[in-house]
Amino acid sequence: MIDDHLDVPSFIKDKTKLKPLLNNARHFSFLGKIGLGKIGAKKFVQLIKQAPLIIIVLMNTQKRSPGENRETWELLGMGGFIEHILLSATALNIGTHFINAPLETKKDRDKLRAIFSIPDIYEPVCIVRAGYINESPKHSVRLDPDKFVHYEHFENKE
């Protein structure tokens, strides 16, 4: 059920349009939690506590792609699935940010499963925090891409 106060693309509300889009993602699941800062987020970092929405992408390990190279295809499919989430969010002026720390070790993934009551057959693949983009963003601390992106040939940019 989608809350009335959320503005979502019309194709998500229309099951006849949404179902074909999800047909190839049968072995994917995701868990979205609205208002997470009020509940289980205390177990995570401050970034997660403040996020209005946390998306946990899960892979059902009992529904595998066929063939010898299935792991490659599953990873590529998951990448495409996550890309669609990120692009859809961007189109709605929603910013996204990957949170990797809770997935780094098996112990951490098991804690995540326990916090959200995720069955053992699901493998957490990715956590994305999401929220509306600040209209006056702070200056980025990231390195300017001109310092490390090369075009046509490699140049020493030090």
- In tens digits, the chain (158 residues) has pLDDT values of 333 444 445 555 566 655 555 555 555 555 554 444 444 444 555 666 677 888 888 888 888 777 888 888 888 888 888 998 898 888 888 888 888 777 888 888 888 888 888 999 988 888 888 888 877 767 777 778 788 788 777 877 76
- Beta-carbon neighbour count of residue 49 at 10 Å? 16
Q: Please enumerate in sequence order all residues whose Cβ is within 8 A of that of 99, keeping only pairs 6 or more positions apart, or say none.
A: 44, 45, 47, 48, 54, 127, 128, 129
Domain annotation for the chain: domains and CATH numbers:
10-147 (3.40.109.10)
Region of residue 68 (phi > 0: left; psi between -120 and 50: alpha; otherwise: beta):
alpha
pTM, two decimals, is 0.58
Q: For residue 8, how far is the Cα from the chain centroid?
A: 17
